[in-house]
Amino acid sequence: MSTRVTPVGGLTDEQVHSVVIAATSASLLRNSQSWRFRCIPGAIGLYADTARTVPVADPDHRELLLACGAALFNLRLAIRALGVHPAVQLLPDPNQPDLLAIVRLQGRSPAGPVDRRLAEAPPRRRTNRPPLAPTTVPLSLLNGLRQAAKIEQAWMATLDAAQLPILRTLIAQAHDTQQHDPAFVAEWSHWTGRDPASADGVPAFEPELLIAVIGSFHDLPLAHLQAGQAMQRVLLVATIAGLSVSLLSQVVAVPATRKQLRELIGGGLWPQVVLRLEYGSPMPLTPRCDIEDTEVSIMLVGDHGRL
Ligand SMILES: Cc1cc2nc3c(=O)[nH]c(=O)nc-3n(C[C@H](O)[C@H](O)[C@H](O)COP(=O)(O)O)c2cc1C
């Protein structure tokens, strides 16, 4: 194990590595790790990596902030599992818009059972895309998933059987809009190396499917970071319960279909991402950059560094 990382707030360099690795196992955006971590003695800074943005598909960085929010949730959780309290300040400096959060390490006490269980889930979580078995999610689990979103200052709305055909139409519309945009097609191929026609497609929806929308109460960067953390908490609660989840972001990425989806879920929430939850077979892990070899994810600063 490399010893190059600045120890943070009493964590050893190995522990700093482990919490950053946990953070980077969050859901990715178009297979790119659009985050950076900067360690100083008392804190870890989370930065957006704006060199890895997708300006056509995500012009206002909304999806980038969702992905970074998910990484932040994993980071908080991994720190908490080590018995340290992570005090998080979101968007702390208006002069540094890429500095998304400062996580200060404050005080020690053993993590409770909920945090310990959640902290074991990130290595097992992965996005599941193939069609799976129809699902009846027990009410207690559904309430647990809703509660997970609420704890992170967001909301999880679910769609009933009558709303699923409308969602399917909206996804088809969003897919069509993106396919007819040459700039989107070029950007998609660049980031994924795949033919965009094979991108997400329009999934079939069985009436028993659990389709949920993670929504926020406003649509500013702060809400996107909160929704990303909520998404990750929901994904980990689902992972522990043995549910597979796929993410459907097309319908939210296209403004016209996002507006209609917003109406479909009652008009009050801003939809951020659609989740499809099913019981299914495990998927292989999507590889991440090796932070020790590449230093892609961690920036190092000296003992007196500032974020
Ligand atoms: C904001 C956001 C939107 C996403 N949208 C989609 C999507 O529309 N379709 C899809 O198949 N995966 C989507 N994903 C999932 C990523 O493609 C997936 O996380 C990545 O391939 C890494 O795989 P893993 O989640 O199994 O680690 C999204 C992820 C994020 C963070």
Express each pLDDT in 203-226 by its tens digit. Answer: 666 666 799 999 999 999 999 999
Domain locations along the chain: 13-124, 139-279
Highest mean pLDDT (candidates 46-50, 123-127, 133-137): 46-50
Give the closest residue to 141 by CA, choosing from 239, 207, 215, 226. Answer: 239
Q: State yes or no: pLDDT of 75 exceeds 90.
A: yes
Average pLDDT over residues 184-195: 81
The Cα 210–Cα 13 span in angstroms is 41
CB of 282 within 6 A of ligand 1: the answer is: no
What are 142-156's pLDDT values in tens digits? 999 999 999 999 999
CB of 126 within 6 A of ligand 1: the answer is: yes
CB of 129 within 6 A of ligand 1: the answer is: yes
What are 243-252's pLDDT values in tens digits? 989 899 999 9
Q: Which of 54, 72, 247 to mutate to test the pocket of ligand 1 (most atoms within 8 A of CB)?
A: 247
Q: Which atom of ligand 1 is nearest to the CA of 27?
A: 19
The Cα 292–Cα 18 span in angstroms is 11
The distance of Cα 74 from the centroid of its chain, to the nearest Å, equals: 9
Residue 102 C-alpha to ligand 1 middle, in angstroms? 25
The distance of Cα 120 from the centroid of its chain, to the nearest Å, equals: 17
CB 280 within 8 A of CB 133: yes
CB of 250 within 6 A of ligand 1: the answer is: yes
How do strand 99-108 and strand 84-90 relate by DSSP bridges?
antiparallel
Could you give the percent of the chain with pLDDT greater than 70?
82
Q: State yes or no: pLDDT of 41 exceeds 60.
A: yes
Q: State yes or no: pLDDT of 290 exceeds 90.
A: no
Residue 60 pLDDT class (50, 70, 90 cuts): very high
Residue 82 has a pLDDT of 96
The Cα 218–Cα 121 span in angstroms is 29
CATH class of 13-124: alpha beta
Point out the least confidently predicted range of 26-40, 156-170, 252-266.
Answer: 26-40
Q: State yes or no: pLDDT of 288 exceeds 90.
A: no
Residue 158 pLDDT class (50, 70, 90 cuts): very high
CATH class of 139-279: alpha beta
At CB < 8 A and 24+ separation, what contacts does 263-267 make?
A: 264/159, 264/163, 264/166, 264/167, 264/170, 265/157, 265/159, 265/213, 265/215, 266/157
**What's this model's pTM, rounded to 2 decimal places?**
0.91
Residue 1 has a pLDDT of 40
CB of 174 within 6 A of ligand 1: the answer is: no
Domains 13-124 and 139-279 agree in fold: yes
Residue 141 has a pLDDT of 97
Residue nearest atom 1 of ligand 1, based on CA coordinates: 63
CA-CA-CA-CA dihedral for 227, 232, 236, 238, to nearest 10: 50
Q: State yes or no: pLDDT of 3 exceeds 60.
A: no
Give whole-number Cα distances, 136 to 108, 174, 266, 273, in Å: 40, 28, 23, 21
Give the closest residue to 160 by CA, choosing from 237, 204, 213. Answer: 213
Give the closest residue to 271 by CA, choosing from 290, 253, 245. Answer: 253
Give whole-number Cα distances, 64 to 31, 205, 291, in Å: 12, 27, 20
Q: Which of 32, 127, 229 to mutate to test the pocket of ligand 1 (most atoms within 8 A of CB)?
A: 127
Residue 296 has a pLDDT of 43
